Structure 1
């Protein structure tokens, strides 16, 4: 019996399914693509870096030969071993919770999701290790039951092997499904390959889902829970080819990043714009600051926060160094940055007094989000800056990268500038907005919270971002990490 003898997924109705149970495979069924290499690669790099990714890439041809010519189970076991052997279970769980959901959510098959989301009880039955997929499936899709391959562990570390009954393919899926549901027969079974037939025949209805990367993935906006906070270094999925290119690029990219950092550290600010052009960095300046801003004193530039390099690029855009006030000082900025950093004490009255004194001598920069953030949104702005001065210039900042994110929460923070500058052509786009008029300042009678919310709103509108009430604390709690110096 071939799986193509089952009716196509398009013929499965999603009406009046509130009391039905659906059981679906993951790769190639609930997800558009069959190949799960990219997700293993993301975990490999996030936990152990480039050498682990290289090990996985070298093992993938062996896994492919076993998978297609010997045994599907054997091929998957090779990938599991190469990815997990020696890893701390905590680190695997952390990567699965904070890195993978974004990439999984961008690959949902529209027809499978239509049926899956219409059913009252949902189950995913997959050969992929449960530890990798459960956070996404339960937290973001609301999946009731996740049945996946279980990995062996010893003293908190993965051994690289899998627990009995082994990889969940073929008969192992049937046995696992039967032990889970007992005498209850699931209503719908979804699969994409012949090894899914055994479990699909246990269901009242079975439907074939052709693996097809050309169909448009489900919009992430319709998911039960938005993926606001995510971590990890990579912008794109790591296919084998992309992984190879990145491994080859990293040594060259690191040298290029060092050159770019040297430019930022040692060249005078007026020369850095041209040095950026020469080294492949794009700095786009919108709303060019008028002359009185370039020669001003006492202005507070209020910016959204994209990377710890923000204040360097802002100073280059203004053609002069503008000190930054912050609650925590990056070791990188202390060592490499030509821009002075002033550390706040978190005593609101003392900090306000100190900044007022400094503004009498110079312009300053502040990042009221309190931490860097990704995505098309802004964290809630602290209202401290609004109490200090009425001379406020909102600044909208946007970064564009092709390979690596220039921020991390769980990784090595000191590597953030290197990863940003390792992108072949990193871009900063800075938009200077009009200085706040009298009616939008505290001097006119508005509260500091109203002013902060207004500044957040005008920056968000400029960037086509969403204003949120999420705070810095929410970010680190969501990523399940305690960070002393974010």
Structure 2
């Protein structure tokens, strides 16, 4: 068929198609010329995994795009959602979630600007700790092994991110040991973020050039050609294909350069859009469920509340390895109760211990909100961190009945045990170690920088929270041991810690409450700075 015989509309479509095809070819040629002029013969279009394995990187500076070549997912929405939820509020998080469809209709740069505005506007700069206490956990869980292995081979590593620097710096420097981090800077007015970023044009390129020494051989890693202005800082360019990233494996926790022991925040899941939709739909029902579970725990006898709570989805798994719980000890002859020593997972630890044995206990604690103290169905007594006074208080409570103590002094979410305070070893001849573990899918029931009065309620808001309680063999305290085999209170505390660690497969550490709060809250974890410390 001749072209003249075609209808006019079809002729017009063919003409437009030819013009667009010609423009596309010219654009590709111009791009090739630009790359050639910029990098000369040193430009290499290679994939990160298949080609770099045979390249010696030990004397080279590796400049990498954090989101494109280190993280498995290129979506940054979950990280801004964490900022909106943890540093902002539930309402701010819902606003960001509602804007998610709009983010598809705009380009990548405008999308980030929108998320920055919603997440950061009005947030106080000095009080912002999400970047160091919350985000590292979620970033680490998205690191690809293949990309991480390549970056560890360089002499010097430089991470470049399109996210605000305050979000990525702690994760990259403290946990992955990246030498330099260059991200976006946020504008501040009167110590508050205004939700805007400084103009980034040529700034990062200038900062990278200042960092590079004359003899540095820089290599750039990205998954897109000539995407950034700072590509000119590199003599070689390696490209990561999206297909390769999808096949990457998650970096195992045992390979973290620095162990992730402490982290904060309420969300226990990666806040992808679909998961956030489920959370927002569940939230109203979760509040009612939490109130119902609390009322049952406060009002019903043990024989009735345990099956009712199990019916609502709350699981208690009890293991009793101690065959001597009913044996009369010297302490009982002295009218003393048993001392249950357990690791600390949530504020509900003593309560679940009470549920497990179906009898009430008294519990001593270092920090407890007034609301939790009022609502607690068991007796709770505050400790002062004054050694002599706390010893008298615990001895008095033991003479009134059984007592529960968590010698770690604070909770820890990860599979680690903090240092056990040895005070308990001097107070009783009948010490029962108890190994506790909990599991949640939606909300954490602990916090270092948030409202502690909400801890029990948020734990109860989970659809199927799980608690494991394991009683171990009893041990003797310092006073009852023979002089030739007598152990110190420190030996007993370390022994109890190690036995609980073996039971739970947790790692024992010498870290304390002070270490936790310095990492997560920037303080030592004391309400009153003049309080005595042991």
Change in 2 beyond 3 A, CA 1:130/1:329: closer
Distance 1:346 1:289 in 2: 31
Over 4 Å off, 4+ runs: 1-5, 171-186, 288-292, 294-297, 437-444
Kindly indicate whether the alpha-carbon contact (under 8 Å) linking 2:225 and 2:239 is maintained by their aligned counterparts in 1: no
Is 1:461–2:502 an aligned residue pair? yes
Distance 2:527 2:468 in 1: 26
What is the RMSD of the two structures over their aligned residues, measured on CA atoms? 2.7
Is 1:163–2:202 an aligned residue pair? no
Change in 2 beyond 3 A, CA 1:377/1:241: same
**Match in the other structure for 1:283:** 316
Distance 1:484 1:285 in 2: 34
**Match in the other structure for 2:82:** 42
Residues 235-283 of structure 1, C-alpha deviation per residue, up to 9 Å, x if partnerless? 2211111112112212211111111111112222332212211221101
Task: Give the C-alpha shift of residue 81 in structure 1.
Answer: 1.3
Task: Give the C-alpha shift of residue 439 in structure 1.
Answer: 9.9
Change in 2 beyond 3 A, CA 1:231/1:50: same
Secondary structure of 1:242's partner? Answer: helix
**Match in the other structure for 2:38:** none
Is 1:315–2:354 an aligned residue pair? yes
Distance 1:198 1:461 in 2: 53
**Match in the other structure for 1:143:** 178
Secondary structure of 1:196's partner? Answer: coil
Change in 2 beyond 3 A, CA 1:127/1:350: closer
Distance 2:125 2:106 in 1: 26
Greater displacement, 2-11 / 422-431? 2-11
Distance 2:269 2:164 in 1: 22
Greater displacement, 236-245 / 450-459? 236-245
Kindly indicate whether the alpha-carbon contact (under 8 Å) linking 1:381 and 1:456 is maintained by their aligned counterparts in 2: yes
Distance 2:324 2:213 in 1: 76
Greater displacement, 271-280 / 392-401? 271-280
Distance 1:149 1:40 in 2: 14
Residues 141-189 of structure 1, C-alpha deviation per residue, up to 9 Å, x if partnerless? 22222111222111111111111236xxxx7765664565497765210
Distance 1:379 1:14 in 2: 43
1:450 to 487, 491, 498: 491
Residues 100-142 of structure 1, C-alpha deviation per residue, up to 9 Å, x if partnerless? 1111111112222122111111111121111111111111222
Residues 6-32 of structure 1, C-alpha deviation per residue, up to 9 Å, x if partnerless? 210011147653331110001121111
Kindly indicate whether the alpha-carbon contact (under 8 Å) linking 1:104 and 1:136 is maintained by their aligned counterparts in 2: yes
Kindly indicate whether the alpha-carbon contact (under 8 Å) linking 1:294 and 1:319 is maintained by their aligned counterparts in 2: no
Is 1:229–2:262 an aligned residue pair? yes
Which is higher, the Rg of structure 1 or of structure 2?
2
1:82 to 112, 118, 121: 118
Is 1:415–2:454 an aligned residue pair? yes
* Aligned positions of 1:28-427 closer than 5 A: 28-67=68-107, 72-92=108-128, 94-165=129-200, 174=205, 177-178=208-209, 181=212, 186-194=217-225, 196=227, 199-200=230-231, 202-211=233-242, 212-287=245-320, 292-293=325-326, 298-427=337-466
Structure 2 gaps, min length 5:
1-30, 36-42, 529-534
Task: Give the C-alpha shift of residue 378 in structure 1.
Answer: 0.4
**Match in the other structure for 2:526:** 484
Distance 1:292 1:377 in 2: 27
Count of residue pairs brought into register by the alignment: 477
Secondary structure of 1:403's partner? Answer: coil
Task: Give the C-alpha shift of residue 33 in structure 1.
Answer: 0.9
Secondary structure of 2:413's partner? Answer: coil
Task: Give the C-alpha shift of residue 56 in structure 1.
Answer: 1.0
Task: Give the C-alpha shift of residue 210 in structure 1.
Answer: 2.5
Kindly indicate whether the alpha-carbon contact (under 8 Å) linking 1:15 and 1:118 is maintained by their aligned counterparts in 2: no
Secondary structure of 1:52's partner? Answer: helix
Residues 425-479 of structure 1, C-alpha deviation per residue, up to 9 Å, x if partnerless? 1111100111116899755511000000000010010000001000111111122
Kindly indicate whether the alpha-carbon contact (under 8 Å) linking 2:425 and 2:478 is maintained by their aligned counterparts in 1: no
Kindly indicate whether the alpha-carbon contact (under 8 Å) linking 1:23 and 1:190 is maintained by their aligned counterparts in 2: yes
Task: Give the C-alpha shift of residue 222 in structure 1.
Answer: 2.2
Structure 1 gaps, min length 5:
none
Change in 2 beyond 3 A, CA 1:426/1:195: farther
Greater displacement, 455-464 / 126-135? 126-135
TM-score by length of 2: 0.83
Secondary structure of 2:59's partner? Answer: coil
Change in 2 beyond 3 A, CA 1:442/1:44: farther
Change in 2 beyond 3 A, CA 1:324/1:207: same
